[in-house]
């Protein structure tokens, strides 16, 4: 019996008009970013499909951009399996940043391991401990970072620029800003890029295990992230401007 597409590639990959130009533009942006920030730029790899495309571009073109990721201590095994897969496939070291053990123990002891479901404030506190603090260490010695943000991902990200200078003076590059989901998967299919197996389980946006679920047909791209919260709140803080964070 045929139950439909067997993989994310089968479901999403499709070549669309202008694809080659978007790839060329993204490569040019990465090359320029690396040249402007020699030895001080890192790809913050979430281990999702977008960041695997960027990883492949960096490796394929031997760009001097470091690879970093956050091992929050609450990721699915399918997610963490990509770290050795990247190192084996591309021969590149992935910098792994973990939360401070004492901070995690204190948070769980104080609020429980299901604190994220209790309130928005506690969920954001969990993100602060497991994501924001390790990210600050990843970026501490860097003048620039690269992300896989795309405008199509959510209303909150609909105006994502290709680059922006943050309040702290660090430059943030979003070279996939105008790519579509079909573009991402066409690239993955074309170049046989390793990807998170959870994408085959209808999880287009993947975070920590307690905060990620599969989405149903017709649901928004990020509906599986923090699904119990209001749509406007669905960011962990990694990609929220300082003013927005204060307002939240």
Could you give the residue numbers annotated as active site?
236
Crossing angle (nearest 10°) for helices 181-191 and 49-60 = 50
Residues of the chain whose pLDDT is less than 50?
Answer: 1-4, 235-237, 239-240, 242-248
What pLDDT score does 22 carry?
Answer: 98
3-state SS, residue 146: strand
Sign of CA dihedral 20, 25, 31, 37: negative
- First CA to last CA distance, the chain: 48
Query: For residue 226, what pLDDT is reported?
Result: 86
How far lies 175's CA from each of 50, 53, 134, in Å?
10, 11, 23
3-state SS, residue 74: coil
β pairing state of 163-165 and 171-173 = antiparallel
Helices (H), the chain: 8-12, 19-36, 49-60, 77-80, 82-90, 101-111, 120-127, 133-139, 181-191, 242-247
Both structure tokens of 232: 């406007």
Per the CB < 8 A criterion, the answer to whether 171 and 165 are in contact is yes
Assess contact for 248 and 240: CB atoms under 8 A.
Answer: yes
| Angle between helices 181-191 and 19-36 in degrees, nearest 10 | 80
For 67, the enclosing helix (H) or strand (E) is strand 66-70
Could you tell me the pTM of the whole model?
Answer: 0.88
pLDDT score recorded for residue 134: 97
Cα distance between residue 143 and residue 169, in whole Å: 8
């Amino acid at each position: 019996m045929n139950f439909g597409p067997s993989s994310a590639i089968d479901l999403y990959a499709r070549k669309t008009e202008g694809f080659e130009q978007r790839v060329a533009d993204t490569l040019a942006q990465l090359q320029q970013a690396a040249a402007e920030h020699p030895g001080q730029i890192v790809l913050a790899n979430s281990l999702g499909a977008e960041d695997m495309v960027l990883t492949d571009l960096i490796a394929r073109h031997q760009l001097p951009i470091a690879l970093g990721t956050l091992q929050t201590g609450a990721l699915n095994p399918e997610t963490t399996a990509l770290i050795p897969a990247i190192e084996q496939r591309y021969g590149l070291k992935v910098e792994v940043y973990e939360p401070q053990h004492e901070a995690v123990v204190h948070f769980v002891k104080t609020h429980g391991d299901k604190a994220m479901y209790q309130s928005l404030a506690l969920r954001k506190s969990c993100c602060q401990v497991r994501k924001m603090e390790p990210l600050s260490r990843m970026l501490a010695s860097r003048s620039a970072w690269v992300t896989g943000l795309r405008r199509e991902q959510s209303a909150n990200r609909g105006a994502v620029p290709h680059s922006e200078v943050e309040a702290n003076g660090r430059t943030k590059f979003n070279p996939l800003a105008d790519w579509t989901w079909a573009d991402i998967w066409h690239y993955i299919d074309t170049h046989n890029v390793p990807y998170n197996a959870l994408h085959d389980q209808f999880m287009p946006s993947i975070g920590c295990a307690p905060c990620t679920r599969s989405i149903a047909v017709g649901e928004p791209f990020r509906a599986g992230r923090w699904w119990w919260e209001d749509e406007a709140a669905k960011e962990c803080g990694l990609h929220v401007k300082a003013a927005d964070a204060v307002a939240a």
